[in-house]
Amino acid sequence: MSFNIAIDGPAGAGKSTIAKRAAKELSFTYVDTGAMYRAITLGLMRSGTDIEDARALEEALADIEVTIDYREGVQQVYLNGENVSGQIRTEEVSARTSACAAKPQVRAKLTDLQRGLAERENVLMDGRDIGTAILPNAQLKIYLTASIEARAERRYRELVERGEECSIEEIAKDIEERDYRDMHRQTTPLMQADDAILIDSSDMTIEEVTARIVELARERI
């Protein structure tokens, strides 16, 4: 049987960086489910679909196929066969994904893909509803969070390093809004599973959080 690790938590808590590192140390496959939601969102943007029109959404989703594979150990995501791993990282896609991911029809489309991967191999899967809905029997569940201030500060530094102009107050506001949407949607909102271990990374380094998750996994494997 495969060993599954679920990591959920809000945007900016360091999930993907930490999940990638922990997966590498454990020789697990890292599955980034946010990338799948982003790819569907890109597809809906390209087709100009009004996602509030249930029928139009249904029809557009029927023409969207999301798949993943790995290139030198790095997850690639495909939209109808086209590798869109770079294109899903734009600010526009980021801003729209939360609303698309709130639609039950969109979530239903990805459930089988995510569960199938976890059945076949040892995965460390990160997202918002992995421990609560996708992999309720995961052998290890982590809820990784950090204060809004810590998350805004990290994002601010990232953008400044890239040479982008930004205000920390704006970033904090965006994070708060995204948290609210992800935590208050009707279908599988972001929340900590009863049996998930809470890690608050506000005052921890990436290395410390990674080491903690690897340790917790090794205790259970």
Q: Is 193 left (phi over 0), alpha (psi -120 to 50) or beta?
A: beta
Q: Binding residues for ligand DC, how many (CB under 6 A)?
A: 13
Q: Is 4 in the site for ligand DC (CB under 6 A)?
A: no
Structure-block tokens of residue 33: 């489910």
- From the list 64-72, 123-131, 154-162, 211-219, the region that binds ligand DC by CB under 6 A is 123-131
Name the one residue in this structure whose structure tokens are 């030198």. 72
In this chain, which of 85, 117, 129, 135 binds ligand DC, going by CB under 6 A? 129
Residue among 85 and 97 whose Cβ is closer to ligand DC: 97
* Cα–Cα distance for residue pair 127/15, rounded to 1 Å: 8
Q: Is 10 in the site for ligand DC (CB under 6 A)?
A: no
Measure the CA–CA gap between 209 and 154, rounded to whole angstroms: 15
Per the CB < 8 A criterion, the answer to whether 23 and 73 are in contact is no
Neighbours of 53 (CB within 10 A): 11
Helices (H), the chain: 15-26, 33-46, 54-62, 91-101, 104-120, 148-161, 168-184, 206-220
Applying the rule CB under 6 A, the residues between 53 and 82 that interact with ligand DC are none
Does the protein bind ligand DC through residue 30 (CB under 6 A)? no
- If one counts every other C-beta atom within 10 angstroms of the C-beta of residue 71, the result is 9
Please report, as a single letter, which amino acid is at residue 192.
Q
Nearer to ligand DC, 37 or 143 (CB): 37
> Looking at beta carbons only, is 107 or 212 nearer to ligand DC?
107
What residues numbered 170-189 form the site for ligand DC, per CB under 6 A? 178, 182
Cβ 119 to ligand DC shortest distance, Å: 17
Displacement of CA 45 from its chain's centroid (Å): 19
From the list 38, 109, 141, 154, which residue makes contact with ligand DC (rule: CB under 6 A)?
Answer: 38
* Among the listed residues 127, 140, 150, 209, the single contact to ligand DC using CB under 6 A: 127
Q: Return the number of the residue (119 or 215) whose C-beta is nearest ligand DC.
A: 119
Contacts with ligand DC, residue ranges (CB under 6 A) = 11, 33-34, 37-38, 97-98, 101, 127-129, 178, 182
